[in-house]
Every structure is written in structure tokens, then in C-alpha cells.
Homo-oligomer: A and B are copies of this chain.
Amino acid sequence: MLGPFLIVLLCGQTYAQPDPLPSWNDGSAKTAIVEFVKTTTEKNSPKFVPAEARIAVFDQDGTLWVEHPMYSQVVYCLDRVPAVVKAKPDLAKIEPFKTVLSGNREAMARFTMPQLEMILAATLTGMTVDEFTAEAKKWLESAKDPRWKRPYTELTYLPMQELLKYFRANGYKTYIVTGGGQDFVRMYSGQVYGIPPEQVVGTAGGTSYRYDKSGKPFLLKEPKLLLNDDQAGKPQAIHLMIGRRPYAAFGNSIGDKQMLEYTQAGDGVRLMMLVHHDDDKREYAYGPKSKVGTFTDALMGEAKKKNWTVISMKDDWKQIFAFDK
């Protein structure tokens, strides 16, 4: 009777793999991920995808890290306003800069889109690429989220970090496809997500090529929108920047709908998933009326109709942040 015992034991040892997604509870979401990865990467699978075609795209705000109550890049822009006003004192007298200087966050929450765009243009353009990078880096190292009192870069979701690693371990090239500023996200994507700058696709402005007095060239960030990487802009940007259709796409809001549709329209097996913020204790629960990451009823309808898998933060995630006990 020792023989079969040994075989069972050895087989057990051979096949037992450590769980690549330990922060995920068992359930339909985790199953969908593991099944997809196996189906597309196991050599004898009829749905095998060659390594070079394995592209997975991830929205950032609300999908990989916290976006509530305000995108961290918007916080960055608001924090930059005093320095901008110092350089151009006339701005202090006009809106929306006047309100930003007053510190009244409730009034700021009521800014219209054109007002927000004025702030973005004033704080993200008109400097060289190198100057922008230096400023933003300084901010990221010092600024803290008011609820968790931690740097924004620590507010990434542990289950999604595991997912990124799991995909990469299986030959997938992971991309961030974000409505956030491309230059901003690229600055920390390597350190925070293990994603190099060239695999970050974001909203991007134009630059102009100039020379300083010594004849040395530099790129100046211009207030000219090149890519608006949201909604239909996401598949357009994926085509422009990657040139291949993804096999897997992760989002959390109505702005990700087209990216998921575009992914699904490819042949073979594709994976479309949406993170649903339904955990008001450990993170946030916000619905159609939120200003950020709108998970509308229409989006939930689309998900059901098109068989997209909804990830419940509350039920599917055992742990949310790496710093959670």
C-alpha cells in the first residue's frame, strides 16, 4: 500500500501551486480570471494565445487604486495652484483660482468642466517635461491621502497588484489605459505597479520642441489636448499606442465601457471585468451619483447583457490594501 500513497504524495507535490491570487476570495470573479489565464496560455488549449499577442489593459483610478473622493492627480493640480499664482499674481483675482486659494473644498467640488480644464492647463502645461517630472515627483513623495494618512502610491489594491503579477507571470504584457495624465502616471508606474512608462497610455497633451540659450533642446508641455483617453478615446488610444486589441480589459466606470466592448469584439476568448465599489467600510461605496468612477445602472445593465464579470470589492476581495491587517 506504500506505492499508491507515494504516488498521491508526489502528484500532490508536483501539482500543488501556491495560490497566485491569495487576496481574492473564491467565487465567480476569481474563477473567471484563473480560467481565462489557463485557457489562453496552456499549450494544448484550443484557445491558446501566442505570447506576443498577450495584451492586458487596466484602467487606473478606481481599478488599480483609490479614486474617491477625488482623483489624486486633481489633488495634485489643486495643490500646485499657489505656486502657479505666485508666478502669475493676476490669477489670484479670477475664478477658478480664487476659490482654490480660499481652500473651500466644497466649492471646489462644484467646479464645472471648463473651470477644471483651466486649472489643469495652468498646472500641467507651460513647463518643460523635466520640470513637470521633478515637481510631480516631489509632490508624490510628500502628499498624503486625508483618510488613510498615507502616500497616494500606497493606496493601490492588493488583489489587483496580485492580478498584474499573475498576468505577467503568464506572459501577458500589462498596460495602464487611464483617463489620467500620461506624464503623471508614467512617473510612478514602474515603482508602484511594475509597469514601465512606455506601457502607460493616458490622456496626453502636445509638446513643442525648443532650444535653450546654449542650443540644448527640450520639450515644452503645451495646453493642447492630443489624446482624451476616456470612453471612445480608450480604444482609439489603444490602437494608436499599442496597435493590438487586448485580450483582457479591467475597468470600473462608464468611461471604460468602450474599452471593454472593443476587447470583447476580438476573436477567441477575451476577459472583461469591472471593479464595483460596494465596500463602504474598507474603502468606499459609490454609485451613479458620484462625481468620480461612475458605475451607472446602465453600465451594470451592459455588464449583465454582455457577460462582463463584476468584481465586488466587498465579497471578492479578502484584503484591500497591502497595509491592511
Contacts and interface: CB of A to CB of B under 8 A. Distances in A.
A179 to B, nearest CB: 15
Contacts of A261: 217
Nearest to A232: B209
Contact of A52 (B196, B206, B232, B265): B196
A235 B219 contact: yes
Given A216-B265, A236-B206, A261-B217, A186 B129 contact: no
Interface residues of A, number: 34
A71 interface: no
A299 to B, nearest CB: 16
B243 A197 contact: yes
A242 interface: yes
Contacts of A206: 236
Nearest to A207: B236
A182 B173 CA distance: 20
A233 B218 CA distance: 13
B258 A197 contact: no
A239 interface: yes
Interface string A261-275: 110010000000000
Contacts of A52: 190, 196
Given A196-B52, A236-B209, A182 B217 contact: no
Contacts of A219: 235-236, 239, 262
Contacts of A209: 232, 235-236, 258, 262
A239 to B, nearest CB: 6
A197 B244 contact: yes
A190 B53 CA distance: 11
A207 B241 CA distance: 12
Contacts of A217: 235, 258, 261-262, 265
Nearest 8 A/B pairs, CB to CB? A197-B243, A209-B232, A198-B242, A186-B243, A217-B261, A207-B236, A216-B265, A217-B265
Interface of A: 52, 129, 173, 182-183, 186, 190, 196-198, 200, 204, 206-209, 216-219, 226, 232, 235-236, 239-244, 258, 261-262, 265
